[in-house]
A and B are shown apart, each in its own frame.
Chain A
Amino acid sequence: MNIGDRGLRLLSGLALFVVLAAILAIFGLVVVEGAGALSWRMLVEAPSSDLATGGVMPAIYGTAACTLLMTVAGVPVGVATAVYLAEYAPRRSRFATAVRAAVRILAGVPSIVFGLFGLGFFVLFVGKSIDGLFYRDAASPVFGRPALLWSSLTLAVLTLPVVIVTTEEAIRRVPRELREASYALGATQLTTIGRVVLPHARAGILTGVVLAVSRGAGEVAPILFTGVANYLPRIPTDVRDGFMHLGYHVYVLATQAPDVDRARAMVFGTVLVLLVLTFVLDAAALLLRARAHRGTRS
């Protein structure tokens, strides 16, 4: 083998090895130490007041509730946008170009700026306006303060591009023949989309939803000022409540727990829960994507 070839193979192989080794080493360490700390109790109990013992159940619930509300709010908008872009927008339409540019820019906005936006728009503008209109005589603000609702909506805006891009791609991959067959049978465009295109693009759309959920579950910066709380002895029952969140809980445990050494087991356990959650979601998205691609090729 030639020296240049050997050099290329060696150098690039080494880089890949370093990347994989770093990934394996770091996540291996976290998983090993986290698995030792994880217990059934951690998953079903509320944390003790100093956060060092007990569990993270309220944080798991808060994360789940927040991402579910986010999905309810964001996915319909994202899917509808993608349907419009893929099925209705004329080629080279200026409006569609603008929407695509907006989606691309939205995807690049730093997450902390979403936090600023969530606080400035949802909490202080929308929330305060609702209070001013309907709860004029309340002693303390009802909607005009950080809450689960506002965090979820902020995250819905943040994950919108993921849903739109993946869904549009999935819809575009639906074979033309299927649509033609539907029209030939006399179906309208709306019926064709609802009965043929969307069901056929199901796996692809679901990929986008799962990716959005995984992204939303892991983001901390956008919820810092819009609703997350350090400590809640009970799970929130109202969308106007604050909530605990796994990612924020990791941050709090790692930097603000009263006794970091005693809380070490809790941090590792929480990190592992969060990591497993996002890994499972992302792996599911990868599998769904693979299935979606296979489905259209056959």
Chain B
Amino acid sequence: MNGWHLLPAALLVLACSGRYGGAPGAGARITVRGSDTLVVLMQRWAEASTTSQPDVVVEVSGGGTGTGIAALMNGTTDLAMASRPIAREERARIEGSGAKLVEIPVALDAVAIYIHESNPLSALTLDALRGVFAGKIRRWSELGGADRPIVLYSRESSSGTYAFFKEHVLQKCDFAPEAQSLPGTAAVVQAVARDPAAIGYGGIARARGVKVLPLRLADGSVVAPDHEAATTGRYPLTRPLFVYLRAPANPEAEGFARFLVGPEAQALAEEAGFFAWRSPP
């Protein structure tokens, strides 16, 4: 009988333990949302900044670049992580509301092409890659491999990697409808690692258990997405990763943004498999 009365009381205590009605920003909570490519690195950054700024809680969510920028537009996040530069309409929408948009490049990434470890293919041109992902080249034998269909692994359209790949590889073409869209780069890596007929794409930092396929450039040379090729810009699928915020931001968000471009954060980026941000090539 008494246990029955205790339950609501316990619930009430829990509900009231939250701080209601505090001053805005008093929670010193920063939310960061966006690119899955950056999410892991951002979590490391959040962890590192917690040790130096213990009062600030950094909350990190993924969902893709589009998600982050949409959240920034809707005002539902402080910082947006992006694996592509913000689109003109998106910028206009944010600045139209009177705010200023600040763009901070935080690291450099190379989009790698993943294939199964047993796949003998040694390199691919960008044109052939477009043919594969647009669904015009459908069998590995057309590329000199075994006679089996090519299984395409792509990302959800909310991902910046998807948009980057679409812009730089597919250009005006659409992805083949057969391309499976998976909710994260990890899912792509996992799928490709288990499927000898697979091809997929994603950030170089995530490539584990798969073979990274080098690209054949127009001059016939073959280039792999390594540190040197990425920082010199020779690897064509190299991209800067950004963090965006609205200009009159709360001081905690600004402080965190400053931390991101500092030497500690940049060292962490290198450690996580990305390349530290240098001035744009």
Contacts and interface: CB of A to CB of B under 8 A. Distances in A.
Classify A-B as touching or not with yes or no (CB < 8 A). yes
Interface of A: 48-51, 65, 68-69, 71-72, 123-124, 135, 137-142, 144-146, 199, 202, 206, 228-234, 237-242, 251-252, 254-261
A140 B61 contact: no
B31 A258 contact: no
A144 to B, nearest CB: 7
Interface string B181-192: 011111101100
B179 interface: no
B40 A49 contact: yes
Given A49-B40, A146-B76, A237 B47 contact: no
Interface of A, secondary structure class, is loop
A241 B78 CA distance: 13
In the A-B complex, list the 7 residue pairs whose CB atoms are closest, starting with the nearest: A256-B184, A138-B24, A145-B76, A49-B43, A49-B44, A255-B187, A239-B18
24 contacts: A48-B47, A49-B43, A50-B40, A68-B11, A69-B14, A72-B8, A72-B12, A138-B25, A139-B250, A142-B25, A145-B31, A206-B4, A229-B60, A230-B60, A231-B39, A233-B50, A233-B57, A238-B22, A255-B182, A257-B186, A258-B40, A259-B186, A261-B190, A261-B208
Of the four ranges (under 10, 10 to 19, 20 to 34, 35 or more), the interface on chain B belongs to 35 or more
A261 B186 CA distance: 10
Interface string B41-85: 001101100100000011111100000000100111110000000
Which of B58, B78, B186, B208 is most buried by chain A, counting CB atoms within 10 A of its CB?
B186
Contacts of A251: 183
Given A68-B11, A124-B74, A233-B50, A50 B184 contact: no
Which of B40, B71, B187 is most buried by chain A, counting CB atoms within 10 A of its CB?
B40
Contacts of A50: 40, 43-44
A261 B27 contact: no
Contacts of A230: 39, 43, 60-62
